[in-house]
Chains A and B, each alone.
Chain A
Amino acid sequence: MRRRHIVITALAGIAGFSSVLAGILLLTASGGPGRAIGSAAIGGPFTLVDDNGAPVTEKTLAGKPYAMYFGYTYCPEVCPTTLLDLSNWIKKLGPDADRLNYAFVTVDPERDTPQSMHAYLSSFDKRIRGYSGTPAEIARIAREYRVYYKKVPTADGSYVMDHSAMIYLMDATEKFVTFIAYQEADASALAKLRNLVTLTPSS
């Protein structure tokens, strides 16, 4: 079945987005695991459904700092690799891992149902929750988090998704802290996650 293409109206074209992203990356690159400048721009309210079918909002994650990743389950390489990396880092955090929340948000809500995400995530650390929603709800959270995603039709009538491939690290008050880049080295990613743990309100 041919479905409606997702149009991201929030982004004034790829060029505009790229310059924003480049700016963010520049700011982050110099900031190490600490808090990046200009963090006000990333994050915001959302209404989604988790992989158990329960409604979730930004308040579900708030209270603990969190790691959020945007991808899709039809992704053959980047998404499973990132979720595997994240699972291994969670394991290395030990008991501190429970002081963070983890969410995998689909950019392909037409194919990624809560059920299919639940099955998919059973192959990774159980603390990573899957979030799906309507195309409009996904467009909204992508806009809030400045996530780029685009449906690209393939010759056979199907499609693949282009999408931002970094993990967003947010504090307990939903403020952006930093990114973990795709395939970032273990030591650097772990340093960022350990720093995130220190941002737990009670500590």
Chain B
Amino acid sequence: MRVLTKTLAVAAVLLAAAIPTFAQAADGSITVKDPYARATPSGAMTGAVYMTIDNKANAEDRLIAGASDVAAKIQIHEMSVVNGVMQMREVPGGLAVPADGSVTLKPGGYHVMLIGLKKPLTAGETFPLTLTFAKAGNIPVTVKVQAMGAAPSNGGGMGDMHGGAAKPMGSMEMK
């Protein structure tokens, strides 16, 4: 029994590792890489998803919508801190992904905003998210939930977001 549990645990880890960290449009034009969210505080109604979107087509595309079972609705937002004031705005007309270019959604900038979370996002979990592009259509992705305060690239250091200081990202224990 114990061995079985262990085997299952190992299998679960392997399965988790096997989840692809990118998803591609049917026509190959748009690739969504490393979609992740940060764990949310208890009872939080909102969350944010970050990722990098590559566009290999020779025409601009736009991320115009999203849908997920975890939230009542989804919007594409840009946040900024100007003169010490935090502002968050819906990106009108969707987020442009330039031809032969890419756009990165990251803390301090663009994010896919989850509104009306049905339950808190817990570190270590994943959830499905369908992104809708004006041209490439729907792309289903699997979002990894990282620790609160986590940086891009699977929780590695990001340096530029926290005043350049080496910081124990998400070291706070979540209840």
A residues adjacent to B (C-beta < 8 A)? 18, 21-22, 25, 73-78, 80-81, 83-85, 87-88, 91, 111, 116, 119-125, 148, 152, 154-156, 158, 160, 162-166, 179, 181-188
What residues of chain B lie closer than 8 Å to A121, measured between beta carbons?
Answer: 41
Chain B residue with Cβ nearest A19: B83
Which of A77, A116, A124, A152 is the one whose CB lies under 8 Å from B89?
A152
Q: Per a CB cutoff under 8 Å, which of A119, A125, A154, A181 touches B84?
A: A181
Q: Which residue of A lies closest to B46 (CB)?
A: A76
Interface residues of B in 58-96 (CB under 8 A from A): 73, 75, 77, 79, 81, 83-90
Count CB-based A-B contacts (< 8 Å). 121
Please report the C-alpha to C-alpha distance between residue A162 and residue B88 in the assembled complex, in whole angstroms: 7
Contact of A123 among B42, B163, B165 (CB under 8 A): B42
Q: Are B43's CB and A22's CB within 8 A?
A: no
Q: Are A77 and B85 in contact (CB under 8 A)?
A: no
B residues neighboring A (CB under 8 Å)? 38, 40-48, 73, 75, 77, 79, 81, 83-90, 107-108, 111, 113-115, 148-149, 161-165, 167-168, 170-172, 174-175
Q: Are B46 and A165 in contact (CB under 8 A)?
A: no
A-B contact pairs, 26 of them (CB 8 A): A22-B83, A25-B83, A25-B84, A73-B41, A74-B44, A74-B46, A75-B86, A77-B79, A80-B40, A80-B44, A81-B107, A84-B148, A88-B172, A120-B41, A123-B42, A123-B175, A162-B85, A163-B86, A181-B84, A182-B81, A182-B86, A184-B163, A185-B165, A186-B163, A186-B167, A187-B165
